[in-house]
Amino acid sequence: MTAKLHNLVAKYMNKTIDIEEWEDIRKKYFEYSYLAFMTLCAHEIKSDCAANEIENIIGMNDIIEESILCYVLKIPGSYEFISEVLSIINDYDAFDINCLYQSYIATDFSIMDGEVKFEGGKNNRDILGSYYTQEEFAYEITQKAIEEYLENNIREEVNELKIADYSCGGGAFLVAACRICRQKGISADIYGYDVDPIAIMITRHRLRFEESSGYKILLGNPLLITKNDIEPLEKFKRAEVGRFYSLEMGVVSHDNVMIALGNPPWEKIRFEEKKFLMHYVENQEIGSKAGREKYIQNISETNKYFYNCFIDDYEKAKRLIKKEECFCKSSCGELNTYAIFTELCRNVVCNSGIIGLIVKSSLLKMPVYSAFFRDMTKNKDLYEVYMFTNRNKIFNIDSREEFSVIFLKKNNTKNLSIALNIERYEKFVDREKIELSYDLLNKLNPETGMIPNICHNEELEFLVSIYEKYDTFGMRYPECKFGRLVHLTNHSESIIKQNDDGYIPIYEGKFIELYTAKYATFSGMNESDKYKNKASAKMICDIDGKEYPESRYFIKEEVWNNLSRNFNDEGVIAWRSLTSATNRRTMLATVLPLIPTCQSIQILQLPKKEMLHILALFNSVVFDYIVRLKMAGLDLTQTIIKQIPIPDTKSFEKELVYMGEKATIEKHINSRIRMLYVSDQRLDNFFADVSIYPIRRKITRKQIIAEIDRLVAHLYGLNEERFKNILHTFSKYYSEKEVEAFFKASTSL
């Protein structure tokens, strides 16, 4: 049915739109879509209805405000369109209107060859940040929240529950709430909000069939708090053209909610220029930022006004949200809606209230939310977390995405309980949980106090043992200099693509790997491949040979000298900051001369002796394993580095016999590091005064790295079993044969 509805909407749009006016295109798309789902609602109420009965059926059942109903029925060809929708419906015995709508918005419209077509893409869904919540999943969350509330208030006679979903979508949580309350003999006073008028209509329609003491399902954006609500039709007119962050979409807040539920949007509050334009223009014209800027300069004044309305809406909305005291802890960074909705719910629930939400796990792991998370855990509001992976595609997003079901309540006295690595939502509340106190969280992540990236209890036990033995990097090296110095966009006025006098090459993250700054190059690549979006560099065949990376960008030398003025010329440790906990290796570090490095590389500087210690630690599987347990996103920042425990500098001075040589651990490590850089003449001066001994055995580069890994494991005090367990988590780097060959018991210390 979805494809037929798309084709019908496209047909009527093509008959009625002004193809040159973006606002008219967006408006007609929404209005015909709205008419289609209004007809579906009416058909569910009266299966043999005719087109001329729709207005009366919808009006009598209070699914749509009268002013909006009159407005949409004035759309060109509305009754003819409704008749054709009814013809489509008659071909089907049954349908689930909520599932159908989710399927409908999963495909976008766009203008191709002068016509409206529905082909691929999900920009509309991305902009809404909405992803369908399975009814069973919503039911389990709702049931737990209601039962928790009743248990917490067992001494009181609870006859009615005030329940709200501030991003209700198609009403899955609110319908579940009505059914559970009915089973328990309790009245349900229901409140729902959404920015999508079709979602509002569907939720009202579904709640008609449920028993409740009443429901108010309101169009508007709950993040835009206002004292004076405007007429529903005026909000509808903003929403139908996609202006969900217009201040006119604001709502009056309702407090003293007993239970707040939902799956709030997973979006950033920002204008997505490319996604906006892709509805109206083919991708090849707007694929690059420069292309979009050029295109916008040449559009009509009418379209430019419409385009600027969105930019203005977002800027005003962000200012308002950041100004609101009730969002002071969550309105940080790039303003992610799931965080702000969580704080909204904390503010509106009563003192005995319960909150049950689905959020991105970033809220619990990313440093940007550390103040908000610490507040929730210190006050013990956050009492249960169920952390999911999306490997089984619970949501139609990247399978690597992680999300969590969180439960909060005020006046809680228990520590936070967490269930980890959940793949299915059925009976998820019965999963085994581990307990994490506020003090333990701050011991494991002293900079942020957030949840580590753990999957099971053994990983937690490992982290606890490491933190009990060793100080963190930040504690050990408080004077360490960190930097991410050149930004290709922010410093674009001082950057060129072809080398010239007074300019020097910029190093990129692609150029570095474990113990090498000669991993890849842009040499020999054509211009289009070299400068395309997400361009890949060409691997250097022999990193122990004479070839060095060729850069594609160059920065004015005087600008670089100013940016790097706080660093000396001794050299730096550099690592790829854009990485992932699921990569072959997560931490990839090298020593570099002090040269320009772009934002995909971070650098640090310490005295040379300590830098060599850090280089060995950074590139070890043990340190990498800890990084993976700490890293939630794709950016390996200095905040993460500072929180990782590292062995005492004095432990490097311990003497031992290793591979037939008696020396300090430091000398064993440095002798091997020197071998790995012997072909990089830029670093000869750096290593000139480093004490080493010759290694005359025939040995591969991988084996040298393995021998350093063994030494670092010894520094961390790991036994053979623990070390082998860590090695096996790096199966993409060390094969089973390599583990047996490089780390056999005879090489142990």
- Output the pLDDT for position 125: 45
What is the rounded CA–CA span in Å between residue 36 and residue 85? 6
Which backbone phi and psi does 701 adopt, to 5 degrees?
-60, -45
What is the rounded CA–CA span in Å between residue 69 and residue 221? 21
> Cα dihedral angle (477, 483, 484, 487), rounded to 10 degrees?
170
How would you classify residue 205: left for phi > 0, otherwise alpha for psi between -120 and 50, otherwise beta? alpha
Cβ-based neighbours of 57, under 8 Å, separated by 6 or more: 42, 45, 46, 49
- Output the pLDDT for position 537: 92
Do the Cβ atoms of 398 and 138 come closer than 8 Å? no
Q: What is the DSSP letter of 210?
A: S
pLDDT in tens, 358-367: 999 999 988 8
Model confidence at 126: pLDDT above 60: no
pLDDT in tens, 500-549: 999 999 999 999 999 999 999 999 999 888 988 788 999 999 999 999 99
* Residue 320, token pair as written in the block: 């308002």
Strands 187-194 and 214-219: parallel
pLDDT grade for 745, boundaries at 50, 70 and 90: low
The DSSP element (H or E) to which 123 belongs, if any, is helix 123-128
Q: The tokens 């108010």 sit on which residue?
A: 216
Measure the CA angle with vertex 241, ends 238 and 243; round to 5°. Answer: 55
Model confidence at 13: pLDDT above 50: yes
Which backbone phi and psi does 262 adopt, to 5 degrees?
140, 175
Average pLDDT in the 431-459 region?
88
What is the rounded CA–CA span in Å between residue 428 and residue 344? 25
Which backbone phi and psi does 30 adopt, to 5 degrees?
-70, -40
Which ranges of 438-553 would DSSP assign to H, the alpha helix? Answer: 438-444, 457-469, 473-476, 527-531
How would you classify residue 666: left for phi > 0, otherwise alpha for psi between -120 and 50, otherwise beta? alpha
What is the rounded CA–CA span in Å between residue 622 and residue 710? 9
- Distance, C-alpha 671 to centroid of its chain: 42
Model confidence at 590: pLDDT above 60: yes
Sign of the dihedral defined by the CA atoms of residues 246, 248, 253, 258, in that order: negative
- Distance, C-alpha 166 to centroid of its chain: 21
Average pLDDT in the 683-690 region?
94
Q: Is 614 exposed, middle or buried (0-12, 13-18, 19+ CB in 10 A)?
A: buried
- Distance, C-alpha 708 to centroid of its chain: 35
Select, from the ranges 57-61, 409-413, 451-455, 478-482, the one with the highest average predicted confidence (pLDDT). Answer: 478-482
**When comparing pLDDT for 154 and 123, which is higher?**
154
Q: The tokens 């619970």 sit on which residue?
A: 394
CA-based nearest residue to 335, from 350, 324, 347: 324
Q: Where are the beta strands (DSSP E) in 410-553?
A: 416-422, 434-436, 481-483, 495-496, 503-505, 520-521, 538-539
- Output the pLDDT for position 130: 55
Average pLDDT, the chain: 91
DSSP character string of 631-682: --SSB--HHHHHTSB---GGGGG-EEEETTEEEEHHHHHHHHHHHHTTT-GG
Q: Is 572 exposed, middle or buried (0-12, 13-18, 19+ CB in 10 A)?
A: buried
Q: Is 584 exposed, middle or buried (0-12, 13-18, 19+ CB in 10 A)?
A: exposed
CA-based nearest residue to 190, from 199, 172, 716, 244: 172
What is the rounded CA–CA span in Å between residue 728 and residue 721? 11
- Report CA-CA distances (Å) from 667 to 153, 652, 655: 66, 8, 9
Do the Cβ atoms of 44 and 94 come closer than 8 Å? no
Length of the chain: 749
- Distance, C-alpha 685 to centroid of its chain: 43
Q: Is 135 exposed, middle or buried (0-12, 13-18, 19+ CB in 10 A)?
A: middle
Do the Cβ atoms of 716 and 708 come closer than 8 Å? no
pLDDT in tens, 95-122: 889 999 998 998 888 888 888 888 765 5
Model confidence at 698: pLDDT above 60: yes
Model confidence at 201: pLDDT above 50: yes
pLDDT grade for 596, boundaries at 50, 70 and 90: very high
Do the Cβ atoms of 425 and 140 come closer than 8 Å? yes
Q: Is 313 exposed, middle or buried (0-12, 13-18, 19+ CB in 10 A)?
A: buried
Do the Cβ atoms of 517 and 490 come closer than 8 Å? no
- Output the pLDDT for position 264: 95
Biggest alpha carbon distance in the chain?
95
What is the rounded CA–CA span in Å between residue 655 and residue 125? 61
Average pLDDT in the 712-717 region?
96
Model confidence at 386: pLDDT above 70: yes
What is the rounded CA–CA span in Å between residue 296 and residue 311? 13
Sign of the dihedral defined by the CA atoms of residues 236, 241, 242, 247, in that order: negative
Do the Cβ atoms of 355 and 258 come closer than 8 Å? no
Instruction: Return the half-sphere exposure (C-beta side, CA atoms, 13 A cut-off) of residue 317.
Output: 28
- Output the pLDDT for position 283: 67
Model confidence at 155: pLDDT above 90: no
The DSSP element (H or E) to which 259 belongs, if any, is strand 257-262
DSSP character string of 59-100: HHTTSS-HHHHHHHTTSTTHHHHHHHHHHHHTT-S---HHHH
Model confidence at 562: pLDDT above 80: yes
Model confidence at 258: pLDDT above 70: yes
DSSP-derived 3-state class of residue 199: helix
**When comparing pLDDT for 692 and 746, which is higher?**
692
Cβ-based neighbours of 602, under 8 Å, separated by 6 or more: 482, 483, 484, 574, 575, 577, 636, 637, 638
- Output the pLDDT for position 289: 75
Average pLDDT in the 648-654 region?
95
User: Looking at the whole model, is its pTM more than 0.85?
Assistant: no
- Output the pLDDT for position 120: 63
pLDDT in tens, 550-559: 999 999 999 9
Percent over 70 (pLDDT), the chain? 97
Burial letters 177-202, b for 16+ CB under 10 A, else e: bbbbbeeeebbbbbbbbbbbbbbbbb
Q: Is 526 exposed, middle or buried (0-12, 13-18, 19+ CB in 10 A)?
A: exposed
pLDDT in tens, 463-493: 999 999 999 999 999 999 999 999 988 898 9
Strands 402-409 and 416-422: unpaired
Model confidence at 213: pLDDT above 80: no
- Output the pLDDT for position 535: 87
Model confidence at 747: pLDDT above 60: no
